[in-house]
Amino acid sequence: MKIYKSTVFPLIVILSLISAVFLVDYVPILQYADELVTILLLPYMVLGTIKRCTYIDKCIRNIFFLFVLIGLIGIASTVLNKVQPDKFAVCLDMLTLSKIIICPVGMYFLLNEHNSEEIIRILTPMAKFFLWSGLACAVISQFINIGMTEYERNGIKSFYFIVGFQHLFSILVLCALLIILSKKYDLRYILIAIVQMILTLKGPSIIWSVSILFILYYFKRDREKIDKWVYVVLLLFCIIFGQFQIQNYFLNDTAPRLVLFNYGLKTALAYFPLGSGFATYGSPVAASYYSPLYQLYGFNNKYGMSKTDTSFLNDNYWPTIIGQFGFLGLIIALIIFVNFFYFVMKSNLRKELKAVTISCLLFIAIHSLGSSIFTTNATLILFIIMVVIIKMYDTEVEEGR
């Protein structure tokens, strides 16, 4: 079957990111796949926004200019405060934190109704195979040890398939589900996804499994907008089904996530108003290059936060934003996320598909409270898939449309 020339590059981008998730342990150089993709898509984002500034979707335009603003804040704070002496670390952190904006927006300008539909057609068989094989292994793993589980709680084994981490597996399940449902609504695949998400035993995944049914029911009642009471119900879901995470991550004074949050506030106040700058606090690069602030805060003496064991140092996202870009940067980052939410809400997606997409954003928002999920390859793939599907339904999303 003929493939449009315009399909080749965006398809390669997506497949390279997917390959990096599965093969990075065997091909170490793939750990830089997302940074390379970010560099390649940057010109498309910049030139696309400049050339089509007057008639592109308002939310996309807002995201671009807010992204530029927070980038300028980061550069200014880095230059003025001089906390991170390693310039390569600074550049790497800029790419790591900005890829979640650059790649989806860059793809937005690369895609049209034809190549986006073709990408979905090519990815759909892969997505179905992933969900069905994952379901089979998830069930088998509860009875036989096939090396795909980590721990056991209440007689249920925590499943992560071949990915290695439950949260990454959960995101890939959502990617596969969106791809499959983009052409036709099929409740079977939602149920298959729910089973696998629950078996990860992770709070955000369990919350998604409950909330997706509620959101689907809500949108099936011919709703175009989300009423305020829905947010209250979803918040209650988060509190009820996230008790374990709340108790262990946010109400325990010695928990690394709470420590990172408290010192993120301290960093924002110490370097008010612009924050401490790139590669200085909370980010994966700040951990890899062990920021001077960690020595100053005594993290070297804490389990999982030392120079030799940094496993907990990037178990956060919002403390990173607060610490490195200050309170202003935090506000800007939140507004960017809200704009992407509205971008989804105002799209021409079918109601069921829009409901699933919104549930994915809810999952990411919840997970970001306790992990650096916005910096992972899997989340990058998820946001790109969202843009591909929206472009498939919206030939040209124009302001005021």
Spatial CA neighbour of 85 closest among 264, 256, 295, 272: 295
What separation in angstroms does the CA of 205 have from each of 21, 114, 158?
19, 33, 12
In whole numbers, what is the pLDDT of the chain averaged over residues? 86
- Residue 355 is predicted with a pLDDT of 87
Digit-coded pLDDT (tens) for 303-331? 888 888 888 887 778 899 999 999 999 99
pLDDT at 102 (0 to 100): 95
* pLDDT the model gives residue 401: 41
Residue 152 φ then ψ, to 5°: -125, 135
pLDDT band at 397 (very low <50, low <70, confident <90, very high): very low
| Residue type at 140 in one-letter notation | I
- 389 has a pLDDT exceeding 90: yes
Pick the range with the lowest mean pLDDT from 213-222, 333-342, 350-359. 213-222
pTM for the predicted model, two decimal places? 0.90
Residues in the chain, overall count: 401
Half-sphere exposure of 90 (CA within 13 A, CB side): 17
Q: What is the pLDDT of residues 235-271, one digit of tens each?
A: 676 666 555 556 555 566 667 778 888 889 999 999 9
Q: What is the mean pLDDT of residues 176-197?
A: 93
User: What whole-number distance in Å separates Cα of residue 261 and Cα of residue 267?
Assistant: 10
Angle at the Cα of 365 from the Cα atoms of 13 and 109, rounded to 5 degrees: 30
- pLDDT of 172 above 80: yes
Give the highest mean pLDDT range of 1-10, 144-153, 251-260: 144-153
How far apart are the C-alpha atoms of 178 and 353, rounded to whole Å? Answer: 7
Query: Helix 377-393 crosses helix 5-23 at what angle (to 10 degrees)?
Result: 150
